Every structure is written in structure tokens, then in C-alpha cells.
Structure 1
Amino acid sequence: MKYQLDKSKIDDIPCVALYRPNKGHYSPSVIACFIISDGWNEQALLELKEKAEADILVGLQTDNNEYERLDIVEGIIRCQPNEVNDVVELLDVRSASTIIGIDVIDVISLFECGYSFQFVQASATGESEFHMIKTATYKMIGLLTNARNTKGVLIRTQSVQSLPLEAFAYISDAIEGLLSNDDAFIYFSSSMIDEPDCFRLKAVYAEEK
């Protein structure tokens, strides 16, 4: 892994933050996210990385425009404008209540899998937990059809209560069965939502070149 983080830094600095340009002060974070269409240039991003003490920069693309690829940026995640907060929340694994053991170093490793990434999400409602999990997983598999050869995917479950290990096994088996790349980077995290009878899956995957 090319990113080696200081353990004390991981404990002391927030995992991820979304930054806007032309601010006098940038609070520190390990992963600095920015919206490409906000008009950032290379110099502004260099200053952001330095002031935020960030280890990596991640751009969020919310439109279909073509942008210059910058070496200082580790990856670009495509999403809809109303999904920006969802992406930042997904990357913030430190806030997740996970029994899987994923941490910020794992998230940073995801960006070694490529440069262009896609955010997708699926949800289901109902009274039966297993039915919701099955339905949302089926929807997510459909969204990941074009990612069969991906080298990396990060997935978060969101439910009103902690999921049993059997649920994670079901979701994991379904996604691993879709992917043809045996060496794909696949990590799971989980978080709680205050929405009864609702289950969500959110994912970021590396797009094929």
C-alpha cells in the first residue's frame, strides 16, 4: 500500500470533510473532498491539501462536463448533486458502527484501485428485515452490473438496528458472485438510520478503464 498514515493522526484528525473554495481556514481531515464544479484549480487544491493536512484529495463530479485530470487528485467520484453528502458519509467510516473492522486506511486503499469511481445506492422498505435486505441487494446488483471487472468497491449498509452476521454474508456473497475479479478490493461498513422498516445500501466502485 503506497499510503502509510501515522496512527496518531488517524486518531486525532477527522476521517473526511467536504471543502469549499476561497475559505480562509480549512479544518484538518485525512481525506479532503471537493466538488469539481466549484471552480478549483491546481494551485487552490495544493493549498487545500496543505492547509487541511490531508493525505489525499478526492473530487466529486456532479455533472457530465470534461475536466482536466490533475496528478494531485487521487480519485474522482461521479454522483448526483443531491448525493454529495451521501458520498462523504460513505467515506467517513469512522462514524460507522461496524463490526467488520474497516478503517480510514482501507478507504484510502480503495483509491489505489483506479482514478474514476461511481457512487450508487439502493433501498427497500417493508416489515420483514430479510425481505428488505434481499430486495435492496437485488437492486444493488443491478446497479453494479457494469462493474463486474472492478478492482475495488466500498459498501455501507444502513438499517434501524444492527444486522446479524448472516445478513452481511448474504450481501457479500451476492456481490462477490457478480464480480469476476477475484482480487477486487471489497469492504463493508454499517451505520444506523432512524427510519423504521427501511434498509439502504450505498457503494462506491472503481470504474473500468
Structure 2
Amino acid sequence: MKYQLDKSKVDDIPCIALYRPNKGHYSPSVIACFILSDGWNELALLKLKEKAEADILVGLQTDDHEYERLDIIEGVIRCQLDEVNDVIRLLDVNSASTLIGIDVIDIESLFKRGYSFQFVQAIATGEPESDMIKTATYKMIGLLTNARNTKGVLIGTQSVQSLPLEAFAYISDAIEELLSNDNAFTYLSSSMTEEPDCFRLKAVYAEEKQSHT
């Protein structure tokens, strides 16, 4: 697990945004996300990438439909419809804390590890912080069982206050012990929340079997 002090700067352009089709104007962002079921085609995505001046196009799949693979897309993340905002927040390098963070280069590197990705999250509430961290980590390990051989995984923590380095070490050690691929790209990021008595772990990992249609 690689730690990095948050020195990310994306100039004045927002890091990430969710776009809907059939709009005359797209505000710029570095990472352009869109929901596959909104009916995007390759021409529309080319226009989106150009108008938003985006470096990365990420599709969010919220259903079980088999979509055609498009080379213009860096990757597709499978998630539930009510998890879309969670995925965007995880990929938003500007939301990371000043202690542990990621940058856009890390996101680009992650999507080079595959095309099809899965989002999972574990939540612990109503307990002392140390217990919540252990509970959420235990739950996350269970959710990552199918990702033992993944080539890339991004882990994000979300807590009311900044976590001590010992907590990050505990989480990263548990994740690394699970993964059997020594060459897996792993990154740990942190962000803050105003939700009291709650600790969240979120992850996006590259699925072993890539979808080609």
C-alpha cells in the first residue's frame, strides 16, 4: 500500500464531474463521469471529452445490461445508482485530506490496470472510532474476497476527524495481506465527513475478467 502526502493541484479546473447527455454546455473537469444507461454513444462521448477538456472518461454502470466496449472510455465502474455520488467522491482527488491523498496521475494509473471495475463500501456506526475502523476493515476484507488477484485497487477512508497514521497502517496491512498479486496497484486516500459516529471504507478495484462485447 502506497501512502502519499497530498500535493495534488489541478489548476483551477475541478477534478471530477458527473455529466448528463444532450446539454449544450459542459463545464470543464479533469475526470468526466457519465452513467452508461443515460444513452451515451461514441460521438456524444467524443464531444463531451472535447467540450469538458477531460483527460479521463469514466462510465458508471448501474444496471446489469451488457454495453459495447468503447476504446474512448478509460474504464467502467459497476455500482448501484445510489452509490454514484460515493464513487465520484472517492475519485475526487480534491476531496482528499491534507494527510493522505492521491492525485490525478494515480487515477490514470489505476485505469491502466483494467477496463471493468467494481465499487464496494463498508460502513460502521455507533461505536468508538477504533472499533469502527476494525469493524469496517473486517467488512471490507469480506467484500474484496473476489479481488485477491486484482491488478489495481483504490481504498478511501471517510471519517469525522483526521485518522492517526496507525489507523491507516492497520487498514493497509489488512488489505495487503488479502491481495495475492504482489504487483497490484494499491492506493489509500482519506476524506472527511460531517456524519457523526460513522466510519466508511470505499474501494474501487479492477475486475480480473474484463468485459469485451
Partner amino acid for 1:90? L
Deviation sequence 1:33-84 (CA, Å, 0-9, x none) = 0000000000000000000000111000000001100010110000001011
8 A Cα contact 1:16 1:88, kept in partner: yes
Using the TM superposition, give the Cα deviation of residue 100 of structure 1 relative to its aligned residue in structure 2, in angstroms: 2.5
Partner amino acid for 1:196? P
Partner of 1:139: 139
Using the TM superposition, give the Cα deviation of residue 183 of structure 1 relative to its aligned residue in structure 2, in angstroms: 1.2
Partner of 2:88: 88
- Once the two structures are aligned, what percentage of the paired residues are identical? 85
Partner of 2:201: 201
Which consecutive residues of structure 2, in runs of 5 or more, have no partner in the other structure? 1-7
- Aligned partners of 1:141, 1:68: CA distance in 2, in Å? 31
Structure 2 residue matching 1:142: 3-state secondary structure: helix
Partner amino acid for 1:119? F
- Aligned partners of 2:98, 2:108: CA distance in 1, in Å? 17
Partner of 1:39: 39
Q: Where in structure 1 do 4 or more consecutive aligned residues deviate above 3 Å?
A: none
How high is the TM-score relative to the length of structure 1?
0.94
Partner of 1:175: 175
Using the TM superposition, give the Cα deviation of residue 10 of structure 1 relative to its aligned residue in structure 2, in angstroms: 2.3
Higher relative contact order (CA 8 A, sep 6+): 2
- Aligned partners of 2:43, 2:101: CA distance in 1, in Å? 36
Partner of 1:109: 109
Using the TM superposition, give the Cα deviation of residue 9 of structure 1 relative to its aligned residue in structure 2, in angstroms: 8.2
Partner of 1:3: none
- Aligned partners of 2:82, 2:205: CA distance in 1, in Å? 18
Using the TM superposition, give the Cα deviation of residue 12 of structure 1 relative to its aligned residue in structure 2, in angstroms: 2.3
Partner amino acid for 2:73? V
- Aligned partners of 1:168, 1:69: CA distance in 2, in Å? 36
Moved more, 120-129 or 133-142: 120-129
Partner of 1:64: 64
Structure 2 residue matching 1:12: 3-state secondary structure: coil
- Aligned partners of 1:19, 1:98: CA distance in 2, in Å? 28
- Aligned partners of 1:109, 1:10: CA distance in 2, in Å? 16
Partner of 1:186: 186
Partner amino acid for 2:57? L
- Aligned partners of 1:23, 1:94: CA distance in 2, in Å? 25
Using the TM superposition, give the Cα deviation of residue 190 of structure 1 relative to its aligned residue in structure 2, in angstroms: 0.9
8 A Cα contact 1:98 1:189, kept in partner: no
8 A Cα contact 2:56 2:74, kept in partner: yes
The root-mean-square deviation of aligned C-alpha atoms, in Å, is 1.3
- Aligned partners of 1:196, 1:58: CA distance in 2, in Å? 31
State the number of aligned residues. 202
8 A Cα contact 2:61 2:78, kept in partner: yes
Which consecutive residues of structure 1, in runs of 5 or more, have no partner in the other structure? 1-7
